[in-house]
């Protein structure tokens, strides 16, 4: 009788989903930000998230047990509690405010991390992060610096892509001294040819197709990663719904 009970208990244990498997089924949020600043009347308002709202959103992640990852730690997504990826496109100088907020919120249990996708030919331009700042961010261990191409064209309309893909990767690697393994497609646009070219230089390709990443093991899955915008109009309630997949 005891043996039968022990056997049934073992079977029940084997079929109880682990926390990691439950997270896989729910999906992993990959968020995309642009400017962390107050909107002052120029540019697209929805691309601005105020520092106050950004801090509130990161506090939500901290207080709800999320683990912030970069793509260097992609393999950890199934090992940690509530994985999430925080990304920033274009390489704006005001992303330094996100860095300051990350450092402010860091605790022994909560280790903020994010990925900045920079446009390599715009580095050091007006309102953009310069080489020294990118090097500092990369060395901090808080930010991973990755590629958003060299000049931000719609690559689905380009015949030649080597400069945009290869040269941008090499320039960023020269600045940071760290591997560039991920590409954010300009405007989120992609097609079959662009994916094949991206695979020559990168391990990941990121779109702006909204939704959570749910592992399905189809061809080129890692080059079609979805990302959801966090906007100026995104309330904390909206943010919670995005990351919780509701």
CATH number belonging to the domain at 26-244, selected among 3.90.1260.10, 3.30.1490.100, 3.20.20.370, 3.40.50.2300: 3.20.20.370
pLDDT computed for residue 26 by the predictor: 78
What pLDDT, on the 0 to 100 scale, is given for residue 2? 53
**Residue ranges in the chain whose pLDDT is less than 70:** 1-24
220: alpha, beta or left, given left = phi > 0 and alpha = psi -120 to 50? left
Question: Residue 25: its pLDDT value, please?
Answer: 72
The token duo for 113 is 């991390």
Give the residue extent of every domain in the chain: 26-244
Burial 2-12 (b: 16+ CB within 10 A, else e): eeeeeeeeeee
Instruction: Give the pLDDT confidence score for residue 30 in this predicted structure.
Output: 98
Residue 9's pLDDT is 47
Q: CB-hemisphere CA count at 13 Å for 234?
A: 24
pLDDT in tens, 99-111: 999 999 999 999 9
pTM of the model: 0.90
In tens, the pLDDT along 43-94 reads 999 999 999 999 999 999 999 999 999 999 999 999 999 999 999 999 999 9
pLDDT at 246: 83
From the CB of residue 183, how many other CB atoms can be counted at a distance below 10 Å? Answer: 28
Cβ proximity of 196 and 165 under 8 Å:
no
């Amino acid at each position: 009788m005891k043996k039968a009970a022990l056997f049934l208990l073992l079977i029940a244990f084997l079929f109880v989903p682990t926390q990691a498997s439950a997270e896989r089924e729910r999906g992993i949020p990959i968020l995309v930000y642009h400017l962390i600043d107050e909107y002052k009347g120029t540019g697209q308002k929805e691309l601005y998230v105020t520092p106050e709202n950004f801090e509130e959103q990161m506090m939500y992640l901290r207080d709800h047990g999320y683990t912030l990852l970069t793509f260097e730690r992609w393999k950890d997504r199934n090992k940690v509690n509530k994985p999430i990826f925080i990304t920033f496109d274009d390489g704006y100088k005001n992303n330094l405010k996100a860095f300051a907020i990350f450092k402010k919120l860091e605790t022994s249990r909560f280790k903020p991390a994010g990925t900045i996708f920079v446009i390599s030919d715009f580095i050091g331009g007006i309102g953009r992060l310069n080489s020294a700042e990118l090097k500092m961010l990369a060395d901090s261990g808080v930010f991973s610096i990755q590629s958003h191409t060299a000049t931000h064209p719609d690559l689905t309309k380009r015949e030649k892509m080597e400069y945009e893909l290869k040269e941008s990767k090499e320039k960023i690697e020269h600045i940071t001294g760290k591997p560039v393994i991920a590409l954010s497609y300009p405007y989120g646009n992609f097609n079959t040819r662009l994916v094949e070219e991206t695979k020559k230089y990168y391990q990941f390709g990121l779109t702006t197709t909204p939704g959570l990443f749910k592992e399905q093991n189809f061809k080129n899955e890692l080059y079609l990663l979805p990302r959801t915008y966090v906007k100026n109009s995104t309330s904390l309630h909206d943010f919670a719904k995005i990351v919780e997949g509701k």
